[in-house]
Amino acid sequence: MNVAVLGCGRWGAFNAWYANRIGHEVRLWGRKGSCHLAQLKESRQNEYLSLPEAVKLTDELAAAVDFAEIIIISISAQKLREFCRQLKVLPNLTEKKILLCMKGVEIGTGKRLTTVVTEELGTGVKVAVWVGPGHVQDFVREIPNCMVIASKEMQLTRELVTAFSSPLIRFYYGEDLLGTEIGAAAKNVMGLAAGMLDGLGFSSLKGALMARGTKELSRLIDKMGGDKMTVYGLSHLGDYEATLFSPFSNNRRFGEDFIKGRKFTKLAEGVYTVAALMDIAREYHLELPICATVYAIIHEHKDPQEELLKLFLRDNKTEQE
């Protein structure tokens, strides 16, 4: 099939590399002036991979979209609404399948990314999400993993799973779009907390973080109308190894560097997601203790050690609290 990948950062470049690898015709788009696109045009490489010549590079958005049967979008979650407004003027979008390979919740509205897409492009667009465990650094070394594709329509989900499954990535069908999106986004907040524990030398508390994190998010998803069991699948708990422990996790690295006073220059979506999750928690009158602690440390500049110890070593409670 003809696949256009919009966004040429770490995951966008990988999406193009992977789609080409499994036999699709691929166009990789980056905005005019993008340093990532300039680097790929110059050397066909970035710090993660080498792109084959068959992947065509372009900064012409209309041409990339017109070419595609499937559009993969891989950009910063907080820029999605603005980007959709650029796409909106282009023809025939309802004839294409849109696959979001990105995680997050919109700050200020608390809206899921598929909701942002349908609000801007119309309810007639076919939109799905691609989430779950895996790092570019592992995939390019031929280390396989399992991921999830979810949408409102199972037919669309099946078509996309068929289009992108391979021995390198086995895709599962996501049956709960809300739970899949919220769980995948919130997983990055747990990654921030894990990095903070690493930075403080409290890595042994990651077990408690995992147990409490899944419970916290299951309550939120249930309150929002999703299936609370989705959080125990690949989009959230199944992604903990890659996010809470891997040296390749940007969110874990951000948390550790934050504690140690080191500057972190790459995108850590959890920093933005935690602010949006606090808005959602207020809307649904629900306490999210881990998210609230991470928010207090990053955005309210509270003392990390004091806040984390208060979180994990609080008064005795049952495991269900």
CA distance 232 to 212: 12
Backbone angles phi, psi at 72, to 5 degrees: -100, 125
The answer to whether residue 32 is catalytic is: no
Structure tokens at 211: 């147990």
CA distance 286 to 275: 15
129 pairs with which residues across the strands?
100, 150
Tell me the CA distances in angstroms from 257 to 54, 101, 196, 253, 268, one per residue in order. Answer: 38, 26, 8, 6, 12
Q: How many helices (DSSP H) and strands (DSSP E) are in the chain?
A: 14, 8
- Sole residue written with tokens 């598929």: 114
Give residues with Cβ within 8 angstroms of 240, minimum separation 6.
187, 190, 210, 213
SS3 assignment for 16-38: HHHHHHCCCEEEEECCCCCHHHH
Question: Around Cβ 219, how many Cβ atoms within 10 Å?
Answer: 16
**DSSP codes joined into one string, 121-164:** H-TTSEEEEEE-S--HHHHTTT--EEEEEEES-HHHHHHHHHHH
Q: Are 156 and 97 in contact (CB under 8 A)?
A: yes
CA distance 97 to 2: 11
From the list 126, 187, 206, 228, the catalytic residue is 187
Most distant CA pair in the chain, distance:
60
Backbone angles phi, psi at 22, to 5 degrees: -95, 10
Which residues participate in catalysis according to the annotation?
A: 187
